[in-house]
Every structure is written in C-alpha cells, then in structure tokens.
Amino acid sequence: MVFDQLSMQTIKDLDFPPIILYAIPVMLSLVFLEWFIGNYQKKKLYDGKDFLSSAAIGVGNLLVDLVIKAGILGLFIIFYNLSPLRIPYTWWSLVLAFVVIDFLRYWAHRWGHEWRMFWATHVTHHSSENYNFSVSFRLSWTQHIKFIFYIPAIMLGFHPVIFFIANQLEVLYQFWIHTELIRKLPAPIEFIFVTPSHHRVHHGRNPKYIDKNYGSTFIIWDRIFGTFQKEEEQVDYGITTPPNSYNPVYLNFHEWKAIFQDLKKARRAGDVVKILFGYPGSWKG
C-alpha cells in the first residue's frame, strides 16, 4: 500500500501504537529488579535523590511529548508532502526505516555533543553520576528541536506510522544499555550492536571516553566514523563540570542559561555562531 498526500485529518485517523507507554510497567519493574540485585550484591547502583530526579525528568519529557505531538506531526506532513518519494507501507520498510533512523540518530547524537546549542538539549541525559536503568529516563525537555536531523528520513517517503514505530523502538533500545549489571557480551554482539559496555564508555568523563560511542542501536557507525572506544578502565560517570543539583528544572535548562549569558557578551556575528555551534566550552568571552 502506497500513500499519497497526507493531511492532519489523515493523521488523526491513523493508529499510532504508543509502544513506549506500553513498556513503562516493564521498565519500572526492571528498575526495581536492578535495585534489588544491586543491594543484594552490595553495590550502590542507586541514589534516592538521583533516582527521583531522573523520574521527574522522565515524566516531564512525556508531558512535553503530549503537548507538542500535533506540532511534530504537522511538520512531518509538510516534509512528507514535499517529497516525490514513497516507500511502500510494509514489514520491510519498518526494517529499512530502523536502519536509516539509527544512522541519523548517530549523527544527531554526535552533533548533540559537538555543537553547543544541541548539547544544551542533551546535557541533561549525562548529568547523573550514577549509571542505572533510571538514567535512561533523563531525556531533555528541549530535545525535540533535533527533529530537524530526521528530515532526510521523512523525505525518503517513509509513512508516518512506520517512521514513528521505528523511532520508538530505537528509544526503547536505549533503556537496557543503561546498566552496570550486564558486562561484556559475546564478540559478534559487541561488534555490531551497542551494548551496556559501549554505552558506559559514552557516559564517562574519563579523558579517553569523552565523545565516544554515539551509536543508538548499531555500534558499527562508531567503528566506521572513528568514534569507537572499548571499555577499558573504570568509568567515571557524569559531565566534566558537574551541575551539583537534583532539581529537574535546573538540570534541563542550566546550559541554556549559560548560552544566553554568553550571547549577551557577544560583540560580533561570528561570536554568536561560535556560542551556538562551537564545541561546548570552546568560546571564551
């Protein structure tokens, strides 16, 4: 089945399965299981205040999703209708969309570390100095501006149901890799897929771990583009300038505040560009 032009009414008539909402009870159960196993093994995997902060950020992100859902769908319609391409609405298009979106997520994630404005939409996720399943809930309330990175997938002609299912599956994959309880997996898995070992490296502020392992589901992108780093030394979690706060509002907006303060000091257009798109911390006013 191939779809032609879409309208908001067409979108309203479609059935978008809320996969992430369905998965919440499972994720919460696994959080409790991880906490229980950690305590049994006398490992301090969780900090009460840190967990509540992660939970509050996660709930806030779900509320933001609900508020802006119509706007995101509207943008999808605009770009979908502009494209002359259409990919058939079938099972293999879901597989293809998953791979394409994963490739784009690699670059969105990488630029989310290398461009300061996008780092402001992602730093929240790295703010915890713990590493457990609940850290996966730390999704910034402003991260949706990175929608622009997925426009190429939309322009390829993936139907919105296919696109959003694939993207939800990508987000869900991120949950299980946020744990210290799963160590290294068999070599073929470690070579192709992002594993907890790979992602622990990504959350490290050790000098050799910074800006490594951006992959969402497939680690092959990091291997291809030179950003792969295997787990070697013990990971020191967090960011190089700790926020020293459990306040979810502060954790979502402290970098935005710093950006606006720097913009006030800007004297030239070039300064504005460097502040917004330079590497985080590189602009010295």
pLDDT, one tens digit per residue, over 117-131 is: 999 999 999 999 999
The per-residue pLDDT for range 17-62, each reduced to its tens digit, is 788 889 999 999 999 999 999 999 999 999 999 999 999 999 999 9
Note the pLDDT of residue 72.
87
Residue given tokens 């092959």 in the structure block: 220
Q: Which two tokens stand for residue 166?
A: 């694939």
Q: Which of 73, 77, 72, 70 is nearest to 4 (CA)?
A: 77
Domain layout of the chain by residue ranges = 18-277
Q: How far is CA 38 from the centre of its chain?
A: 25
SS3 helix, strand, coil % of the chain, rounded to 5?
60, 0, 35
DSSP state of 15: -
CA distance 47 to 38: 12
pLDDT-derived band at 2 (thresholds 50, 70, 90) equals very low
* pTM of this structure: 0.93
Rg (CA), the chain: 20
